[in-house]
Structure 1
Amino acid sequence: MSTPAARPATRRHHKRPRGEGQWALGYREPLNKNEELKKNDDGLNVRQRIIDIYAKRGFDSIDPADLRGRFRWYGLYTQRKPGIDGGKTAVLEPEELDDRYFMLRVRIDGGRLNVAQLRTIADVSAEYARGTADVTDRQNIQLHWVEIESVPEIWNRLEAVGLTTTEACGDTPRVIIGCPLAGIDADEVIDATPQIRAIADRYIGDPAFSNLPRKFKTAVSGCAAQCTVHEINDVAFVGVVNEQGERGFDLWVGGGLSTNPMFAKRLGAFVRPEQVHEVWAGVCGIFRDYGYRRLRNRARLKFLVSDWGVERFREVLETEYLGYALPDGPEPAAPRGGNRDHVGVHRQKDGNFYVGFAPKVGRLSGELLHRIADIAERHGSDRIRTTVEQKMVILDVAPEKVDSIVAELEAADLQVNPSPFRRGTMACTGIEYCKLAIVETKARAARLIDELERRLPGFSEPLTINVNGCPNSCARIQVADIGLKGQLVLDENGEQVEGFQIHLGGSLGLEKSFGRKVRGLKTTADGLPDYVERVVRNYLKHRNEGETFAQWVRRADEADLS
């Protein structure tokens, strides 16, 4: 008979490792509240309850599991109650942070809008969202102050012009990002518009993919500038030409940022255009079936790819999901030089021009959206695009109308020839509306632009400054020249105030790297303009000829970065 002391040792010796909640391995029991919520009812089913019950009976009638869970499947989040400071973000219960109003995210696959669609969003903004509108770094437009009673009518308006909020949030396939110049850029490798449309039409709103371990981000593009930041998406199809001269796509999987950033990995497979939608479904299916569901902070595809490696991932994709092998293919060519944002006036392959412009940190309004639609229409365009840099582009401008459209846009403070600071600064939603945020972002980033333009009027180098209100990196702080992660810091008087941890020298493209963190390098929000001015002046003083900010940061002394 074993002694009591021996029994625990025996149990330890035979203890099985805890599963990661992978459906394909038989772990079907919900392992956290989110998984339980999704098992109890598909998030797609909440739409009818919103129409039949909640919109008629009001906010107090909403089931909490729908309010803070399934509503996301239709782009709805409760926004932050005004007046709650960042120190309470992680302390208060969700119902204490919730306001009785919603952020509503309009899904814009490929960033493609026409004048009627833009006007509809503008009307919805003016009538139901207090005039708010922000273009995001995933090509969506977000509205705020939306009441539940208004949601069915908003959906009717949007859907009447071909727009949707379906799966704009939640553990679902989010918006499919694409190049705003698809089909018009003379340098593009391939026009990915049909592939984006095929994925969206076949799979968005399909219950087969409406319960994923977490969000699933897609990029499909043949852009020569590689503007869709394929390196940080869960799945990306990047335009390439193989040895036989066929145009298709190189397949990347497992990218993502947040608190544990990872770059996507090439599978080395060549995907023909007609195969893209089924390869996408295969990758998404692997995530659904093998993705880690036990812990939310391990539930992104990047962790599975990191653990499996590309060879196993490709083998499972081909054997279990596609039923055929993909041929090997080439790496993408080096991205076209310069900015990826398509700002400025540039010639299309048909002889017309596109005009890209920079709203300040993506902040717009219903009135401004109407003005953009009017400007486009007056200049003969019915095609407007959003970008992944919180910018917009008007296509199909005749050569003789370029000067006029530039003048009208800039009169509305929509800069076609912006300073590097206006062009390169992005900001997430921040504490103004977001329940996860710790600091304010949009207004602060806008003031930072103004200050830097005043202090450094002759600065002309490309520079990205990404401002985030919390550690989740919605504004991609780790891949910016200057990434600012919101947190509370101590000022010179020992008082706790809003501030930022600083990441320096992040970049994408051929020299991709995550930003460098210098030990203890933080700034108060009030001291942010002084800090950025100082580090930019150090760059100008110590850089080598032709050296970018990110390249300089990698070799700079910490004293010059502080």
Structure 2
Amino acid sequence: MGVYFWIPCAARGGDYLLALTNLPTCPGLFYGSIARDGVLSRMRIPGGILNAQQCWTIADLADRYSTGCLQVTNRANLQIREVHSEIPPEVWNRLQELGIASRRVEVDPIRNIMASPTAGIDRQQLLDTRPLVKAWDDYLQTHPELSELSPKFSIGLDGGESASIQAFRNDILLAAGRAKSEIVFRLHLNSDTGILIQQSQCISVLAALASAYLEYTKNRPRIDGKKPRLRHLLADWGAESYVERVERNLPFILQRRSIDPSARAIEQSPHLGIHPQRQPDFSYIGIALPLGRLESKQLRNLANLAQNLASGTLRLTPWQNLLISDIPNSQLFEIEQQIADLGLHSSATRLDSCLVACAGSSGCASAATDTQSHALAMARDLAQKLTIDGPINIHFSGCQKSCAQHRPIDITLVGIQIERGHETIEGYDIYAGRKDLPFGRPIFPAVSAAEIPGAIELLLQVYQRFREPLESFGEFVDRQAIDQLQELLNTENRN
């Protein structure tokens, strides 16, 4: 029996049935996509914040219509994997009533609105972006013409939190900063434009930016069968010309001036573990989800935990983990114990806390390797052999596209096919450090999947043996000449 999706869409004359064979490539909630392990449905969660009732409903949905397998994505979406049963209209209606499904189906495919998972609770924040996330989502829901935007059109709102999202790739980023005595947002279009925007102006500016981009897409041919991205507009027009066109449709002049040189630098801090909130006597705890994976029963129990011992709020992160916020400090010991009872942990110094991987060959036709299983197997193997004392981020990418992570991090493995004798096997080119784009510095070429744990173990042993005091892994790799680093690896390997 095939899998079908009922699509509640008044604009198309009411509900209609979409067969599995007609599902689109890019997943949404109402329009799943076909992966190798079944149909994948993606829930768009603006800002990544869920309440307990929403979590219970999602867990029930996953149990009834799939195998109960959920996954947090690198935009703080929540994916339901292996959907195997028809999902009827009343389920979609219930999700809309609870605010976990777009009120207007047509805008559902647009990328999730990204914000720091610590918005409103971060002691370092300059502005609370949660009202802006809601306001922009409301704007999308009430302007159906924006459904014609590219599904990859992405907005990020950074309020100056320690758990900053500024390093994530977004078409448009508004980042809070100080300009003399006031706090404003600075507009980034791939890079800093130098334009300052008042908080009250943000939605008007985002709407004008989206409208100008939409007009551009209508007058340009498709690229590889897809709508032009914002980067294509910027390549054609340039950022300044784009902003000038936008400004013509605004009732105010955009400010162009420098941020106060004394403004803080971006200080990324670990979000896993326990952290005090800006609200006195309350803390949040960051919980590790290896590769973002979460069982429906774990989600249900975490929601129960948050409801009973905190404010009932779970926050999904772009690092594919989650937070429980608003925990009275008197309840921290109890909540840690119950998290451990669910088979989860909050440590930032375990390798399974620091993994990022794309869907891999199990879910994507472009991938050369099964990244998800290789990443988890490596973490399990190395957990028995070494201990790390600080976060080391490891990224598995099934191909050169690097969908899961767009910037160099500590260690990146890029999937390839390796010819060994008369057979072709899965393997990786391994890069380290952040000095050379796009993946870092080449360290080990053509390593088979079976040899990955040994190669990463060797790299980490060299770091732990030869690093300077308080030196991070990335700093250690980047200060070495590549031939010096190879010599250290060879020496350690011989020992």
TM-score (norm 2): 0.86
Matched, 1:270 2:196: yes
Alpha carbons of 1:132 and 1:412: their partners in 2 closer, same or farther (altered >3 Å)? same
CA distance in structure 1 between the aligned counterparts of 2:454 and 2:369, rounded to whole angstroms:
18
Matched position secondary structure for 2:193:
strand
- Residue aligning to 1:159: 96
Identity of aligned residues (%): 27
Q: What is the alpha-carbon distance in structure 2 between the residues aligned to residue 216 and residue 289 of structure 1?
A: 14
Q: 1:211 aligns with which of 117, 127, 148?
A: 148
1:281 aligns with 2:207: yes
Q: Structure 1 residue 106 and structure 2 residue 43: aligned?
A: yes
Aligned to 2:431: 503
Which runs of 5 or more residues in structure 2 are unaligned?
Answer: 1-6, 490-495
CA distance in structure 1 between the aligned counterparts of 2:138 and 2:367, rounded to whole angstroms: 34
2:419 paired with 1:480: no
Instruction: Label 1:198 to 1:174 Cα distance change in 2 as closer, same or farther (>3 A).
Output: same
Question: 2:3: which partner in 1?
Answer: none
Where do 1:132-281 residues align within 5 Å? 132-147=69-84, 149-164=86-101, 173-204=110-141, 206-213=143-150, 215-225=152-162, 227-243=164-180, 245-253=181-189, 264-281=190-207
Q: Where does residue 16 of structure 1 map in the other structure?
A: none
User: Higher strand fraction: Structure 1 or Structure 2?
Assistant: 2
Deviation track 1:286-333 (CA, whole Å, cap 9, x = no partner) reads 3222356432489322243245443323222223x3253211244573
Deviation at 1:208, TM superposition (A): 1.9
The secondary structure found in structure 2 opposite 1:527 is: helix
Contact 1:171 1:216 in 2 (8 A): no
Give the superposition deviation at 1:187.
Answer: 1.4
SS of residue in 2 equivalent to 1:54: strand
* Compared CA separation, residues 51 and 419, structure 1 to 2 (3 A): farther
Moved more, 224-233 or 210-219: 224-233
Counterpart code for 1:403? F
Counting only pairs closer than 5 Å after superposition, residues 284-433 of structure 1 correspond to structure 2 as: 284-291=210-217, 293-296=221-224, 299-319=228-248, 321-331=249-259, 333-339=264-270, 342-351=271-280, 352-433=282-363
Once the two structures are TM-superposed, the CA of residue 468 in structure 1 deviates from its matched residue by 2.3
Instruction: Check conservation: 1:479, 1:513, Cα contact below 8 A.
Output: yes
Task: Determine which of 12, 17, 25 is the counterpart of 1:54.
Answer: 17
**Which residue, 445, 448, 451 being the options, matches 1:524?**
448
Change (3 A) 1:200 1:471: same
| CA offsets 1:336-390 (integer angstroms, 9 cap, x no match) | 2533xx1111111222111111012211111111111111122132111001100
Shifted more, 271-280 versus 465-474: the winner is: 465-474
Give the helix-richer structure, 1 or 2.
1
The alignment partner of 1:529 has SS state of helix
How far residue 224 of structure 1 moved from its aligned partner, in angstroms, is 2.7
AA matched with 2:386: L
- Which amino acid is the alignment partner of residue 379 of structure 1? L
Q: Is the 8 A contact 2:59 2:296 kept in 1?
A: yes
* 1:174 alignment partner, SS class: coil
Q: Which residue of 2 aligns with 1:463?
A: 392
> SS state of the match for residue 32, structure 2?
strand
Q: Deviations over 1:519-547 (max 9, x none)?
A: 87232211111111122223334434443
> Partner of 1:446: helix, strand, or coil?
helix
Q: 1:494 to 1:502 in 2, by over 3 A?
A: farther
Please give the alpha-carbon distance, in whole angstroms, between the structure 1 residues aligned to 2:230 and 2:139. Answer: 21
Give the AA of the match of 1:313.
Y
Classify 1:462/1:50 alpha carbon distance in 2 versus 1 (closer, same or farther; 3 Å).
farther
Q: Contact (CA 8 Å) 2:8, 2:92: kept in 1 or not?
A: no
* Paired residues, number: 473
